[in-house]
Amino acid sequence: MTTATLGQLIEKHGFDVLDHLDRGLEIPVHAGLQAQGDLFIIPADPDRGSRQGAAVPPDGIAVIEAVGGGHEHRLFAGQPGTAFFTPAGAGRQDIGFLECSEPAYIAHPEHAYAGIAPGTYTLRRQREQADWERADEERFVAD
Amino acid sequence: MTLPAYAGTLTSAHRQLINGIRDQWAATVLSTAPVDRAAAVGAVHRLYDTHKFPRPSLTIWMDSPFGCIYAAAVIGQLTETLREQFVNQLRRHQLQGQLGRQLWFRLARQVGEQLGDRLGDRLAGLLSGQLEDQLSGQLQGRLSTQLWGQLRGQIKGKLHGQLWDQLNDRLWDELWGQFGGELRIRLPDQFSEQDEDQGWDEDGSRGWAERLHSVFAWSDARALAFDSCALLIAGRPADPRLGALSSVVTETGWLIPMHGAVIVGARPIVLHRDARGDLHHPAGLAVAYPDGWGFCAWHGRRVPDWVIAAPSVEAIAAEENVEVRRCAIESLGWDRFIAEAGLVPVTAGDSKNLAAAHVPDPGNPGQHLVLYDVPEQLWGGRIRLLMCTNGTPERDGTRRRYGLKVPAHLSDPVEAAAWTAGLGKDEYARMMRRT
């Protein structure tokens, strides 16, 4: 199986990245742990929980929203109907559960694309120690 | 659209209604458009008309909240102010009376949740803090001259001759001393920035906006949004006084209504926020008004100008307020902070091998992780800093470095990185690719 290049993925999914990133770059597809900026793609136990996720539509799903001048991380199915995403619920470090039977991709303007092999994954935000009041309080990193 | 009858819980039609009203008010809260004076005057007239008060003969335009309060201090001893009637009495007695306490409080909870906390709630507290600092101190000469200049032209010839003669030659300090106390613009001793409670309680709002006799979106949008929703959901007729108040808050940046006079303020010309929606600007005033009044903010905290303009380890060490210190450290940037504070990387055990402190970043070939102790006396608590390098190059080919705060008990950089991902060290070490 040939690896897609950044340019091919941009054309296929319609999600552009910053212009200084090399369009000829091959985007590897991994089954193991990955990170894209402040987003972690964590291999998950296939048997965990119920998978009631909605199919990822052709124009993708924002798994981390762009807020106030930031960028979004957007999830795309490699082929239509091959990726399913179950959101974890607001205000948690876990964003949701991804299942794909074909490679899926997550795109971000600054970090290009991340290729995700068929499998099951937890998508999770990066956290840091928050400053205010509680010692155990966390803040989620905004890219 | 006819709403379904309210039977104790909100339906999706109710939520849709609330969201529409919320979004309209959210836009008003964030507006930096210039005030349309004709529309503002029309809205003010309507406000007075609905209460059957004579329209004010004197309208004063000031370019900032501080300017409005200054103007009120100068002329306010002349006459009673009207926020109590226009806002508090309307809400507490009329609207609450119409719905009945039980329904009011149930809706307060349900509608309140749906409205969220983006209707000026977090903004008003910072602005009030800035006003408090300035009003409780001596006004700087240049600012008082500027404000007096702006006010004087508008009230000259409009005030009774004797009073005008008295005002004309006075300096701010004398004016404040004479009028400030009488106007009862006095902020309470136990005032705090967190005291934003607009009061669903019986006593109603004891907010600082009330004490300043002022009506404006950051203070009042949430209550006005709630009132509109509550009346609609409860199936009560629209109240023209509520409509007039909503209109005037939408058309002005600030309002101090009085008998016979009204002070109208501009909206901010800039309003900068971060990704979370908190007031924030790393390079200048986070909020600024047309007369230059404003203040700096860092991720939702009001900070003195030096935090933005000239942060330094020296200034940080001299700052008493721990929250300001932390904002200043972030504003300075971790790279510069590490260099200027002379921080030494955390090394495992007793090893002084600094090279060993730079640990390869899993999945990020050629890049390293380093862990630092942040001096407790500067941070005001125990914390460590994980310095990371971006997995993707910048436009100029360099890699951006950034810092993540991690718990102080972590002494291994990879373990600290794993903590940020909620993973164990071994799992994190198997990272395939970090972009």
- Give the residue-averaged pLDDT of B102-110: 88
Q: Could you report the per-residue pLDDT of A10-53, keeping only the tens digit for each?
A: 999 999 999 999 999 999 999 999 999 999 999 998 776 556 78
- Between B207 and B50, the higher pLDDT residue: B50
Position B91 confidence tier, pLDDT thresholds 50, 70, 90: confident
CA pair distance B368, B413, nearest whole angstrom? 9
How far does the CA of residue B200 sit from the closest CA of chain A (Å)? 26
Determine contact, residues B381/A134, Cβ cutoff 8 Å.
no
Q: For residue B190, what pLDDT is reported?
A: 30
Q: For residue B74, what pLDDT is reported?
A: 72
Determine contact, residues B333/B341, Cβ cutoff 8 Å.
no
How far does the CA of residue A31 sit from the closest CA of chain B (Å)? 9
Instruction: State if pTM tops 0.80.
Output: no
Q: Chain A contacts of B30, Cβ < 8 Å?
A: none
Please give the interface size between A and B, counted as residue pairs whose CB atoms are below 8 Å apart. 93
Q: For residue B185, what pLDDT is reported?
A: 38
A positions 49-78 inside 8 Å of B (CB): 67-70
Cross-chain residue pair A37–B421, CB shorter than 8 Å: no
Query: By the CB < 8 Å criterion, does A3 face chain B?
Result: no
ipTM score: 0.92
Q: For residue B13, what pLDDT is reported?
A: 92
Position A66 confidence tier, pLDDT thresholds 50, 70, 90: confident
3-class state of residue B62 by DSSP: strand
- Find where tokens 């300090």 sit: B173
Mean pLDDT over the full length of chain B: 83
Q: Chain B contacts of A109, Cβ < 8 Å?
A: none
Query: By the CB < 8 Å criterion, does B421 face chain A?
Result: yes
- Give the residue-averaged pLDDT of B121-144: 73
Query: By the CB < 8 Å criterion, does B395 face chain A?
Result: yes
Q: Where are the domains of chain B?
A: 12-267, 343-429
Q: Chain B contacts of A18, Cβ < 8 Å?
A: 395
Q: Could you report the per-residue pLDDT of B184-200, keeping only the tens digit for each?
A: 333 333 333 333 333 33
Q: For residue B80, what pLDDT is reported?
A: 72
Position B140 confidence tier, pLDDT thresholds 50, 70, 90: low
